[in-house]
Amino acid sequence: MTKLNQIIAVEKGVKSKALQDITAAHHKVQKPALLAGISRTYQPKDEEGEQLPPESTRVQVKAEDVLRDMATSLTRLFDVVATKDWANCAARADVTVDGRTILTDVPVSHLLFLEKQLAELHAFVKKLPVLDAAESWSLDPSTDWWKTEPVRTIRTKKVPRNHVKAEATDKHPAQVEVYYEDVPIGYWTTVRFSGALPARRVNELLERVEKLQQAVKFAREEANGTEVVDQRVGDAVFGYLLA
């Protein structure tokens, strides 16, 4: 059987790794360029028109993937700290949200830990990138990215034109003014891609975090404040939060 001092010995290392992973997740979702993608194809107006190659940029980061990666890292942290806290304290309470028991017989020391972690999760979720409300987005099953409807725009070229201000005479040459006219020569068809989240999804996540925060606080108020039994709370917590 694992002893409490062994759990305490590995706790610091697990916390350090989780902090590094969370910091990396913060950096990823705060870089709009990594979340953005685009696909552009060009069609000349006529057969003699200039041929241009298509342009595309892949979405490098999906916020949903970052959430799952962070959940995996924090699951290990939650489990290690839970094992220590269960052995440390006999005062326990259930965490219940909307009549559903998320965690059972939780020690008060771990309830305090969950309060701190959920506060950080709440701050993280509030900063998640949201799809631009000015665009109409749909999920592309072939890439699993969000995409906009194709938008067609005209490509123009400036062509010189002559404007005769005065006709030529026996004594003077014609007075000609050169001006440039924008002439359509082709079309761009643009589709924008994104790995951000719909506002509805972010709001749902925030509501879940806030409900769980409230439930943990209620449980802590109810709870009074060896060999250890390994605890597994991470899967339950993130199974609820990221459902």
pLDDT (tens digit per residue) in 161-185:
888 777 777 777 878 788 899 999 9
Exposed, middle or buried: residue 63 (CB in 10 Å: 0-12, 13-18, 19+)? buried
pLDDT tens digits, one per residue of 31-71:
999 999 999 998 998 888 888 899 999 999 999 999 999 99
- Sign, Cα dihedral of 13, 220, 210, 230: positive
Q: For residue 39, which of 145, 157, 123, 127 has the smallest C-alpha distance?
A: 145
**What is the distance between the alpha carbons of residues 39 and 234, in angstroms, rounded to a whole number?**
39
Query: What pLDDT sits at residue 225?
Result: 47
Amino acid at site 106: V
Query: What pLDDT sits at residue 3?
Result: 78
Mean pLDDT throughout 75-98? 87
In sequence order, the 6+-apart residues with CB closer than 8 A to the CB of 38 are 55, 56, 57, 190, 191, 192, 193
Q: What is the DSSP letter of 128?
A: S
Query: What pLDDT sits at residue 179?
Result: 86
Q: Are 231 and 83 in contact (CB under 8 A)?
A: yes
User: What average pLDDT does the structure give for the chain?
Assistant: 90
Query: What pLDDT sits at residue 224?
Result: 59
